[in-house]
Amino acid sequence: MKVMKFGGTSVGSADRMKEVASLVSDGDNNIVVLSAMSGTTNNLVEISNYLYKKNHDGANRIINQLEKKYYEEIDLLYKNSKIKEEATEVVKSRFDFIKSLVKDEFSEVEEKEILAQGELMSTAMVNLYLIEQGKDSVLIPALEFMKTNSDGEPDISYIKENIKKYLDIHKDSKILITQGYICRNVNDEIDNLQRGGSDYTASLIGAAVNADEIQIWTDIDGMHNNDPRYVENTKSIAELSFDEAAELAYFGAKILHPTSVLPAKVANVPVRVLNTMEPKAPGTTISGKDSKNRITAVAAKDGITAIRIHSGRMLMAYGFLRKVFEIFENHKTPIDMITTSEVGVSVTIDKLKHLDEIVDELKTFGSVEVDSDLVIICIVGDLVRENKGYANRIFDALKDIPLRMISYGGSDHNISVLVSSENKKEALRALSAKLF
């Protein structure tokens, strides 16, 4: 059994949906995870933002535009009038629901409900198209088996147990279609796995059912060695280890959701990143096989804030770092990079919700300096200490760029540097020029 995930562009129009239908009808048993049509989730975020501001006109304008687009695609997608009617009804009921939330009381609960509508519509549409084509396809509801726990993390045993029920019920169906991104939280409310979370859904399902392979179908021919949005002539990487892919995803390679590699790694299910526009291209295979003697790729993670704590008390003291880290832990704020010296420690975070409280508490140890608008540039490869010379090449490439922090040795696969956001493109390009 395979898990095949298709992103927003891959289901972005009637034509793209037809292409997806042909790719999933390959005769294998496939669980198909779909994102919302491209642009939809952004529109749903806009609608929610208007509703938070009680701007009903703004919300209605986007709702009507979006609804119109769906009917246009439905018109192009189906030939059979009964199926077309059924699809129209599904989409209409979703938009009626969104319209019912256009009112003054608007909270996070309603926002999450709105954000879920895109995946609910795209999956219904593709499933109906497959049925029109006489395929053996059935919808299985993610909201009945994807769940997060009290920490907001996927509840692995719940997912495993509950998706199995659907596999048993539909054991004779070749194609099981489900929604990426959406889930229920510990209070049983509709929630999601954060933007781009459909990759994470696919990986969680692949691990839960112990799939032979997880395929991430997107709009580019695999993971590239640098960010194609900022650097020209990037190249697709044929093979990546789980660890390399996890570092790249976590440190900003948008092609994969930041935490989507871990479930596949734990279950040892290979992940293939493939291009819907060019289905025969080999793409990238991510597996347990380590890469050797190379710098593999570069990625950049935006929106980073650095906090430096300067304290005389750090000198010769044990337990100091624990107290510092405890403050971040109490505010549920993950730390990305760390560097220390005899008199201070610098850390970076990207979750800023509790920054003010964190800084206030850190001030009990000494002076605290906060720098925002930074970017972590992460260089990934076979960077074990025996591989001499790589650090030299990396820092040679970056010789004209001010570096705020450097981290090396945390794993065998990663050197990270912190730069100002205005130097991001220059840093990425300089690294590509020297390393690849």
Binding-site residues sit at 5-8, 41, 119, 218-219, 229
**What does the angle CA 166 – CA 169 – CA 173 come to, to the nearest 5 degrees?**
95
Rg of the chain over Cα atoms, rounded to whole angstroms, equals 23
Residue 197 binding target from Mg ion, ligand ASP, ligand ADP, none, CB below 5 to 8 Å by type: ligand ASP
Query: With the CA atoms of 212, 148, 250 and 282 taken in that order, what torsion angle do they form, in degrees rounded to the nearest 10?
Result: 20
Alpha-carbon distance 313 to 39, whole Å?
Answer: 51
* Residue 198, CA distances (Å) to 35, 85, 119, 232, 396 in order: 6, 28, 9, 27, 38
* Partners of 190 in the β-ladder: 184
Which of 198/333 has CB closer to Mg ion? 198
Q: Tell me whether residue 78 or residue 200 sits nearer to ligand ASP (CB atom).
A: 200
Q: How far is the CB of 326 from ligand ADP (least distance, A)?
A: 35
Q: How many CA atoms lie within 13 A of 340 on its CB side?
A: 9
Question: In the complex, what is the shortest distance from the CB of residue 332 to ligand ADP, in angstroms, rounded to a whole number?
Answer: 26
Point out which residues bind ligand ADP (CB under 6 A).
7-10, 35, 196, 218-220, 223-224, 227-229, 253-255, 299
Q: Whole-number minimum distance, CB 213 to Mg ion, in Å?
A: 19
Within positions 114 to 173, which residues make up the interface with ligand ASP, using CB under 6 A? Answer: 118
Instruction: Name which of residues 18 to 47 contact ligand ASP (CB under 6 A).
Output: 35-36, 41
Q: How far is the CB of 307 from Mg ion (least distance, A)?
A: 30
Distances in Å between the Cα of 279 and the Cα atoms of 30, 49, 171 are 16, 37, 27
# chain residues binding ligand ASP, by CB under 6 A: 12
CB under 6 A: which stretch of 135-143, 194-202, 330-338, 369-377 binds ligand ASP? Answer: 194-202
What whole-number distance in Å separates Cα of residue 203 and Cα of residue 220?
Answer: 19
Say whether residue 292 binds ligand ASP (CB under 6 A): no
CB 414 within 8 Å of CB 380? yes
Partner from Mg ion, ligand ASP, ligand ADP, none binding residue 73, C-beta < 5-8 Å depending on class = none
Single residue of 118, 196, 283, 381 touching Mg ion by CB under 5 A: 196
Residues 380, 133: Cα–Cα separation, whole Å = 44
Q: How far is the CB of 42 from ligand ASP (least distance, A)?
A: 7
Comparing CB distances to ligand ASP, the nearer of 132 and 199 is: 199
